[in-house]
């Protein structure tokens, strides 16, 4: 099976029955639950808007009705995706007996070419490299798992070999 590469593909696969685990931090789970509550409120309003605009006349020529119905369907789809994710959530909890090794949920301080980089290792649904959160399935994340501070790893991406020294594991 090909792994999805885009966030939208990840969401679509959830609807297609790809019931693999969804690794989230506790804050990620809370954010997802808040998002679902917000969507449910918006959906109730969209249903009312659809009913109100539907009373204005002919459905085929009623642009307001078509727009309200599209919005309602979009919100319902997004709610379904989140509900499917919530069924398969695994909250990331670090193994407190092995805090020296990099694992899902660890924060890692790295040195690459005299640049200090800090990353948190998270699941693919929360990954955002710009904000310092990389997936445990990414090339760098997968190479880091299981290593400890003081070790050096090399990662080959796009034909380039990058060498990282692990300075600290939090």
Q: Which residues have C-beta within 8 Å of that of residue 146, sequence separation ≥ 6?
A: 101, 102, 103
Q: What is the pLDDT of residue 7?
A: 53
Q: Examine the domain organization and report whether 85 and 138 are in the same domain.
A: no
Whether residues 117 and 75 share a domain: the answer is no
- 158 and 123 within one domain: yes
In angstroms, the CA 146 to CA 166 distance is 12
pLDDT of the residue at 14: 46
CA angle at 15 for the pair 13 and 19, rounded to the nearest 5°: 65
56 shares a domain with 130: no
Domain end residue (candidates: 26, 61, 91): 91
**80 plus 117 within the same structural domain:** no
* pLDDT for the residue 16: 47
> 147 and 113 in one domain?
yes
pTM for this model (two decimals) = 0.71
pLDDT of 11: 52
Give yes or no: residues 155 and 113 share one domain: yes
Q: Is residue 98 part of a domain?
A: no
Measured distance CA(142)–CA(28) in Å, rounded: 20
Task: Specify whether 74 is located in the same domain as 137.
Answer: no
Q: Are residues 72 and 115 in the same domain?
A: no
Give the span between the Cα atoms of 149 and 118, in whole angstroms: 13
CA distance readout (Å), 127 to 61, 119, 123, 131 = 43, 10, 6, 9
Q: Which residues of the chain have pLDDT under 70?
A: 1-19, 59
| Residue 38 CB contacts under 8 Å (≥ 6 apart), including other chains | none
Indicate whether 1 belongs to any domain.
Answer: no
Do 79 and 138 fall within a single domain? Answer: no
The predicted pLDDT at position 20 comes to: 78
Instruction: Find out whether 65 and 49 touch, Cβ atoms under 8 Å.
Output: no
Give the domain extent around 137. 107-169
Note whether 14 and 71 are same-domain residues: yes
Classify residue 99: in a domain, yes or no.
no
155 belongs to a structural domain: yes
Give me 142's structure tokens. Answer: 């997968």
């Amino acid at each position: 099976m090909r792994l999805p590469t885009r966030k939208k593909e990840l969401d679509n696969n959830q609807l297609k029955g790809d019931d693999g685990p969804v690794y989230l931090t506790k804050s990620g789970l809370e954010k997802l639950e808040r998002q679902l509550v917000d969507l449910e409120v918006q959906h109730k309003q969209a249903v009312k808007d659809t009913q109100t605009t539907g009373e204005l006349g002919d459905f085929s020529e009623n642009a307001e009705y078509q727009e309200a119905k599209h919005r309602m369907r979009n919100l319902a789809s997004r709610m379904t995706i989140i509900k499917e994710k919530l069924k398969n959530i695994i909250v990331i909890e670090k193994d407190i007996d092995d805090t020296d090794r990099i694992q899902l949920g660890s924060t890692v301080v790295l040195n690459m070419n005299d640049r200090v980089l800090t990353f948190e290792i998270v699941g693919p649904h929360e990954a955002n490299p710009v904000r310092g959160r990389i997936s445990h399935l990414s090339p760098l994340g997968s190479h880091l798992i299981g290593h400890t501070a003081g070790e050096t790893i090399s990662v080959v991406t796009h034909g380039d070999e990058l060498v990282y020294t692990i300075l600290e594991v939090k």
